[in-house]
C-alpha cells in the first residue's frame, strides 16, 4: 500500500518483486528493508520501491528529546546548539531547517552554574530535552540520560570512544577528555 509509514529496518517488499530505490536496502535473505523513517513509494511500472524520508517541520514540543551540535559557548556559561534531529518513538527524524537551541546556566548540570566547557565541547553532538513552548527553544541537560553522544578529540580530531562514567578517550593519541556523557547512548 502506498503512503504507508515505515521505520528503519521494516520490511517493505522482496527483491523478487521490486528493485531497491532510494533509502531501501536488500538484506541477506533478499528482503527489502527501509533505511530511514518515511513514506513508502512504489513505482509499479519500473518495479522500484523507495522511501521518502519524513522530515520534521522544525516545530518542537515541550519535552521533545532532540539531538544537536554545539556551535558556541558564550562566556563559557551558555551552550548554543544547532538542533539537527528530534526523537520520534526511538527514531531520529531530521529537521528540515536549522533550529537553534539555548541551554542557559541553570540547565547545565544539577542547576549549578558550572563552566559550560567542562561539560561539552564545540562540535560535540548532544542529546537534550526541550523545556520551552516554541522558538527560541530552551533546552536542558539536567538528567543523566542527557548529554554528549558524540565527540571528537580536541588534539587530533579522531572520534572519541566512551571509556567510563564521564570519561572519553581518543583511540588514536590516547587523550582522555571529560564530558557530561549521556548515560543511555554514545555513538563513538
Q: Which is nearer to Zn ion, 11 or 156 (CB)?
A: 156
User: What is the footprint of Zn ion within residues 95-154 (CB under 5 A)?
Assistant: 153
Q: How many whole angstroms separate alpha carbon 35 and alpha carbon 70?
A: 27
Span near Zn ion by CB under 5 A; candidates 34-42, 48-56, 164-172, 180-188: 164-172
The torsion angles phi and psi of 180, rounded to 5 degrees, stand at -85, 95
Task: Name the burial class of residue 182, with classes exposed (0-12), middle (13-18) and buried (19+) by CB atoms within 10 angstroms of its CB.
Answer: buried
Among the listed ranges 19-27, 65-73, 113-121, 163-171, the one in contact with Zn ion (CB under 5 A) is 163-171
* Residue 163 in the binding site for Zn ion (CB under 5 A): no
Can you tell me which of 5, 11, 172, 187 binds Zn ion, judged by CB under 5 A? 172
Judge contact between 173 and 155, C-beta under 8 A.
yes
Candidate list 15, 113, 156, 183; residue touching Zn ion; CB under 5 A: 156
Asked if residues 121 and 149 have their Cβ atoms less than 8 Å apart, the reply is no
Cell numbers describing residue 117: 566547557
Asked if 83 contacts 61 with a C-beta cutoff of 8 angstroms, the reply is no
Q: Which stretch binds Zn ion (CB under 5 A): 10-18, 42-50, 73-81, 172-180?
A: 172-180
Residues that bind Zn ion (CB under 5 A): 153, 155-156, 158, 170, 172-173, 175
Amino acid at each position: 500500500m502506498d503512503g504507508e509509514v515505515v521505520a528503519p529496518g521494516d520490511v517493505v517488499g522482496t527483491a523478487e518483486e521490486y528493485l531497491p530505490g532510494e533509502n531501501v536496502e536488500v538484506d541477506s535473505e533478499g528482503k527489502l528493508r527501509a533505511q530511514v523513517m518515511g513514506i513508502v513509494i512504489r513505482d509499479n511500472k519500473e518495479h522500484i520501491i523507495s522511501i521518502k524520508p519524513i522530515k520534521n517541520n522544525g516545530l518542537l514540543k515541550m519535552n521533545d528529546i532532540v539531538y544537536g551540535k554545539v556551535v558556541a559557548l558564550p562566556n563559557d556559561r551558555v551552550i548554543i546548539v544547532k538542533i539537527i534531529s528530534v526523537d520520534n518513538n526511538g527514531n531520529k527524524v531530521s529537521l528540515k531547517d536549522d533550529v537553534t537551541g539555548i541551554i542557559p546556566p541553570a540547565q547545565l548540570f544539577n542547576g549549578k552554574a558550572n563552566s559550560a566547557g567542562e561539560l561539552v565541547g564545540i562540535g560535540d553532538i548532544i542529546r537534550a530535552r526541550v523545556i520551552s513552548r516554541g522558538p527560541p527553544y530552551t533546552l536542558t541537560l539536567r538528567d543523566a540520560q542527557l548529554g554528549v553522544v558524540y565527540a571528537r578529540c580536541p588534539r587530533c580530531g579522531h572520534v572519541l570512544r566512551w571509556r567510563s562514567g564521564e570519561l572519553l578517550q581518543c583511540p588514536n593519541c590516547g587523550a582522555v577528555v571529560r564530558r557530561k556523557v549521556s548515560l543511555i547512548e554514545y555513538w563513538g
